[in-house]
Each structure stands twice: as C-alpha cells, then as structure tokens.
Structure 1
Amino acid sequence: MASKSASVENQSATQVLWHWNANLDPWSKTETPQWKPYSKGDNDIIEQAYNKNQTETKLENYIIDFQQLLQISKFDNTKQRPINRVLIPQINQTNSHTTQPSGKASSFKDLHFSRFVNEWLIKNKINSQSDYSNIVEKAAIGIITYAERLGEQSEANLIAKQLRNVKKSQKNDIIKCCVKIYTQDTFLYRHVNKTLADDNMINVDTLGPFCFLLSCFPEAFEHISYIGTIYRVDELDRQMIESYRNSINGWKSWNGFRLTTKNHSKAQQFQGNTLFIITITESPRFGNAIDISPVSYHPDDEDVLVVAGTNFRVDKVEMNTTGKHRIYLSIA
C-alpha cells in the first residue's frame, strides 16, 4: 500500500488529489503519462478509504486497489489503470533567468505531474492520436498572444516562426525544436518557469500548448535518462533554504522544468547563493533527467533538462566558508 510520510504530510499540504492514467495505453513505456484527476466526490471517497488504511474502495464503475495502486473496472477486471496520490503544498520563490522557482512537496517518487500541463491536456482532450501540427500552431499563436502584454512581439514572432518551420515534421523533431527554443535566452524561458512554478492557470490557453510539447521531451530522447551528477545554481532566500533543510530525507518535487549542467565549472559561472548537487544513481522509470546538449541552443553548457514534476530526495544542506549553500539532492 502507498506509504504515508509524516515528514511530508504536514500542515503545508493544502490539498490531496488522486489521479488515474488517461493514456490510450496506460502501461506504455514510451508515452508521457497523462494523469487525470478524479471528480471531487470520487476523490473524497478514495481519500477517506485511504486514510482508514483500507486495502480497496469502490466507486460507481471502478474498484480502487490501494495495494497495487490500480483502478479496476467492476465489469471487466482486465481493464486496469495506474493511479496516484499527490499532495499539493506550495513553496514560493523569486524567479530570474538563472533561478527557477521550486515546486511542491510530494510523497511519491517517479511522479511526472504538472498541474498546469495536466489542466491543458484535459481542457483540450489530448491523446496519443492528437494532431501535433495543430498543437504546434496553438503553441505559436499562444506565445504571440502572451507576448503582446509584455511588449515582446518581435521575439515572440521569431519563436513562432521556429515552431511553424517544424509544424509538418515528425513528432520528435517538433519536441526537439521546443527544447532548443526553451534553452534560448528569451522571455519565454523566464515566463514558462514562473507560470509552472506558480501553477498559474490564467496562462493555460497561451503557454499551455508549448509547455505540453516541451513536457514530451523524454520521449524524443527515448526516455534515456542521464546517470551521474548534475549541478545548478540558484538564488534562494533564507526561508527557502530552511525549507530544504527541514526536508532532509524527505521527498519533494519541482513544478517547473529544471535546466542543469553536467559541468561543475559551468555551474559555478552562474550567480547565486546556492549550488544544487543532484545525483542520479540509476535510470528512472520515465527518464527524469535528459542530456539535451545535442539540441540545446548552448551546446557547450552541457545541459541536462529535468522533467517538470520530478521528485527528489533532500540528502544534505550545508554552507561553506564563503557563505554559499550546497544542497544535495537525489533522483531515483
């Protein structure tokens, strides 16, 4: 049965959400999982049974098996789908080009979940048969629309042109184009990060299509996760550093994507008071961290991109003699 972690399920949790895998093939190892939330009524039934340590509970058409974390049809027990449980506490952090806001705590590992992307998927009924050229056009239009209020129309038009140039290409080529766009020094990088970190659903129609395409990037790299140590420098306030310190040996997750580097020296070139040292000791199930340097706009940076919603364990927090913090994390 899914374990309950007292270190995570604390007063910072604002909501518990249960989801089922809505993929056409829920057991596919090549598709990005599409987690769809249960209705509020069903969510309450499931959560109440879970908190009573029941092994299963029943909905109108399904049995929820807590031991295997499965949704099973009452009418055909061969029809099964994975389910997951997500805690939603909020951690806020200032955003800049070199600093991406940290996300939310979670009691599950290997949980690929972005509420923002999930909202767009549900709203647009996206599945494995969807027309990606249409999604690309929506992404281009959305970025232009979003940029109008920022006065960034010229930059947005250039980004839209890059997207439209691959509109008729294969899915993987489209996704790799989105990765390259994301690594460029534009307003889009900053605003995608902040939107995902804040779960800002106001932007779901404009930035949602691009964020969805970007979230598919592990598929374009055959889900081959980088194994080793990656680095990232951020500027964190004291409260955020203490939040990490208080979470040692606990699991948390970032809402947004994390652009990191394999090169320790490169990481040191960025400004910030905190160096993240992230160890990936084995290949995660879906490919949480991918070496994107072959398609990055800055290939010499040796970029490794971490999937939005990836869970990590906080191993250690320390401060060196210069006052710079080091936060050690593990992804598995």
Structure 2
Amino acid sequence: MNTNGSNTVFWYFKNGDVWCDKSDAEWVKYRDVEMQIIEEAYQQGKSEILLDKYRIDLKEFIQFNRTDSLKQRPVRRQVGCKVQECLREERFCSPPFLTSTPSYGKALAWCPFLTEWLKSPAGRKAALNFPSAIDACINGILQEAIKHQSNSETEAKWMVDQLKSCKMKPRRETSKVCIHLYTRESFLYHVLNTALREADHSKLDTLGPLCFLIRDYSRTCTEFIGTVYRGVQLPLTAILSYKQAVGSWRTWPSYTSTSKNREMAEFRGNTLFIIEIINSKLSLQRAYDVSEISQFPNEDEVLLPAGVSFQVISVEQELNQKYIIQIKL
C-alpha cells in the first residue's frame, strides 16, 4: 500500500449481505500489511494470493475462505484515495498508561522491559553481535504471530522478509525498517505495546530484540526538539491522576505516538497533551521524528520511546470543555 498522493492504493472486502447492492453491506479495508501483500501480488501479475484465512482471486476480485470455498466476498481495489485527514485513532488516540518513575536521568527511568532483555544471554550477545539481534527479532515475530489470535502468520512472514533484506545493509537501516514495521497496522504493534504496558516478561525473548532494534535508532538519529501533540479520550479518574502528578516525573511504559500537527491531534478526544521536548544533555534521545520512515508520512509522527520520562506541568480545562495537559520532556 502506498499512502502518498494520487498513487494511494487500498484494498477492501465487502461485509454484510455481500452480493446485494441495496443492502447495508459496507466495504472494509484489509489490514495494512495484508494490503501490502495483496498489492505486491497484483503488481506482479499473480492470479491469486493466499492470506492466513483467505484466498483472493486477483482476476475475478473474489475472496474465498480457505476452509470453506462457498464462503465468498467481493474484493475491490481503489486507486487515488484521499489521504486521511485525521490521525489513526487506535495508534494516536488511545489513553497512555501512566506510571511513576524513580528519578529522571537514571537507567531505571527507561524501559525496564528492554533493560531486562539486555541482561539476558541473548541480550548480551546482541550487544556484541548485532546480526544476532536481527535473527532473534525474526524468530520472535514468527513466534508471536503463531500465538496471536488474529491469524497473522502471513503478515509475519512478510515482515521477516523485510528484516532479512537488512542483513547486509548498514546497522541504521535495520532500525529504520523496524520502526517502519511498527508504524504499520498489524498484530505486532498490539502485542508489543501490550507487553510493555503489562511488563509481561514472558515475552522478553520474543519482543526484547524488536525493542532493542527500535531503540538502536537513537544511536544515529537527530533528536526531535520542539512541541508535539496527542489527543485522547481520558476518563475523569485518569485526568485526576494527571492533576495529582503536576510537578512530578512520570513515564509512559509503551511506545507513544505523537504528531507535530496540532489540528490533526485535537480532532479526537476530550484531552489534548501538549508535549514540549527540550534540549537536554541528561539522557539519550527521547523523541524520534519518524514521519519519513512511517507508512503514513502525512501524520507527522514523532515517536516517544518506551519508558520515556516526563514532567507534568499543568492540567487545565478550556471553555470548550477540552482538557489541556502540558508535558515537558
């Protein structure tokens, strides 16, 4: 799937009463990586493509259930779609999970999940032998896909092919590919952030390498300094937690997507985070401008790494009832 301008391509399947034009059926987009797989097969002139649960006839534009060929749905390819004018809701607008931090600038203030993996034999090996981290990441993605309930093995194999192509490239290219994969809508985004939020150390071996490769981008990137935004729907209990945290340091344990575009960020939710990233010498890079790496460059994404520390400056409510939470990194 290409998301730039007139070359944008999306693939849809029809839901509901699929063969009735007058029904309430709707056209539903395939998942991001699935669309990429389908489009690549289409461009290669293939007659069909297999996904985990479906076979898609690219000549007749019909989706078949792989276990019951009588279950069929029309498929549509749309070119030149209008690029979305708001941020993806789940990625940019889900409430961030707030935790306390021991002290700003200390190692423990950073991602404990990654820190634990780096202490493991595989983590120590990766620190000395970078290609082993790529192999561990590949194996971890494949294992998580098998365990995930959304039938994601085809997606995982496509991701693995992207990583395998990095083995003979500069180290920076590998971390860029990992960030690009993270920006896509797939099972991987969900399982990674869930593990980080829940501090699920049972997934250290499978997801620790991916965290390491994403974090490795900080070795060579230029830290983003400036103001970014995140619009979310917060319950009153969460807003109260931020009010009680004013003046103190906190962390978001998972990766946090923000945007340089305030207008897009404040489109959703009852709360707008205004996050000021200042020039600091106390820590590693705390913000990556990934807009040129992302599958969705128009979102102007700045990615905050897992475990980033921040100070809550203020919590105020505007006349339009929207809460404004000022954050400083």
TM-score bucket of the superposed structures, by smaller chain: 0.5 to 0.7
Which residue among 283, 305, 308 is the counterpart of 2:306? 308
Amino acid at match of 1:229: T
Unpaired stretches in structure 1, ≥5 consecutive residues: 1-94
Residues 322/148 of structure 1: CA separation in 2 closer, same or farther (3 Å cut):
farther
Amino acid at match of 1:114: C
Divergent runs of 4+, >6 A: none
**Take 1:191 and 1:103, find their aligned partners in 2: how far apart are those partners?**
19
Structure 1 residue 167 and structure 2 residue 167: aligned? yes
Output the CA distance in 2 between the equivalents of 1:142 and 1:328.
37
Identical amino acids, percent of aligned pairs = 29
Is contact 1:176–1:220 with CA below 8 Å preserved after alignment?
no
Structure 1 residues 7-37: Cα deviation after superposition (integer angstroms, max 9, x where no partner)? xxxxxxxxxxxxxxxxxxxxxxxxxxxxxxx
Amino acid at match of 1:97: R
- Cα deviations across residues 211-261 of structure 1 (Å, max 9, x unaligned)? 11112221131xx32121100122322222111110001111111121111
Matches of 2:237 and 2:181, distance apart in 1: 33
**Match of residue 145 from structure 1:** 143
The equivalent of 2:119 in structure 1 is: 122
Give the counterpart letter for 1:165 in structure 2: S
Partner of 2:276: 279
Q: What's the secondary structure of 2:328's corresponding residue?
A: strand
Give 1:281 shift.
2.8
DSSP-derived class of the 2:192 partner: helix
Counterpart in the other structure of 1:297:
295
Partner of 1:211: 211
SS of 1:286's equivalent?
Answer: coil
CA-to-aligned-CA distance 1:253-280 (integer Å, 9 cap, x gap): 11112111111122134x3332110012
Change (3 A) 1:128 1:191: closer
Write the distance in 2 (CA, Å) between the matches of 1:181 and 1:242: 35
The CA distance in 1 between the partners of 2:234 and 2:97, in whole Å, is: 10
User: More helix per residue: 1 or 2?
Assistant: 2
Alpha-carbon distance in structure 2 between the residues aligned to 1:229 and 1:147:
36
How many pairs were matched up? 234
For residues 65-76 of structure 1, the aligned pairs below 5 Å read none
Q: Structure 1 pair 148/289, CA: closer, same or farther in 2 (3 Å)?
A: same
Listed one character per residue, the Cα deviations across residues 269-318 of structure 1 (whole Å, up to 9, x for unaligned) are 4x333211001232454221121222122122111111222211101112
Task: Read off the aligned partner of 1:182 and give its amino acid letter.
Answer: Y
> In structure 2, what is the Cα distance between the partners aligned to 1:305 and 1:107?
23
Match of 2:241 in 1: 243
Give the drift of 1:127: 6.2
Matched-pair contact (CA < 8 Å) for 2:91–2:257: no
Separation (CA, whole Å) in 1 of partners of 2:98 and 2:167: 32
Higher Cα Rg, which structure:
2
CA distance in 2, matches of 1:97, 1:305: 11
CA gap of 1:216–1:235, structure 2 versus 1, over 3 A, is farther
Give TM-score, length-normalised by structure 1: 0.66
The residue aligned with 1:191 is 191
Secondary structure at 2:230's aligned position in 1? strand
Q: Give the Cα separation in 1 of the matches to 2:154 and 2:126.
A: 33
Assess, with a 3 A threshold, how the Cα gap between structure 1 residues 161 and 326 changes in structure 2: closer, same or farther. same
In structure 2, stretches of 5+ residues that fail to align are 1-88
Q: Give the 3 Å change call, closer, same or farther, for CA 273–159 of structure 1 in structure 2.
A: farther
Where does residue 265 of structure 1 map in the other structure?
263
Displacement, 1:100? 5.7
Q: For residue 73 of structure 1, what is the aligned residue in structure 2?
A: none
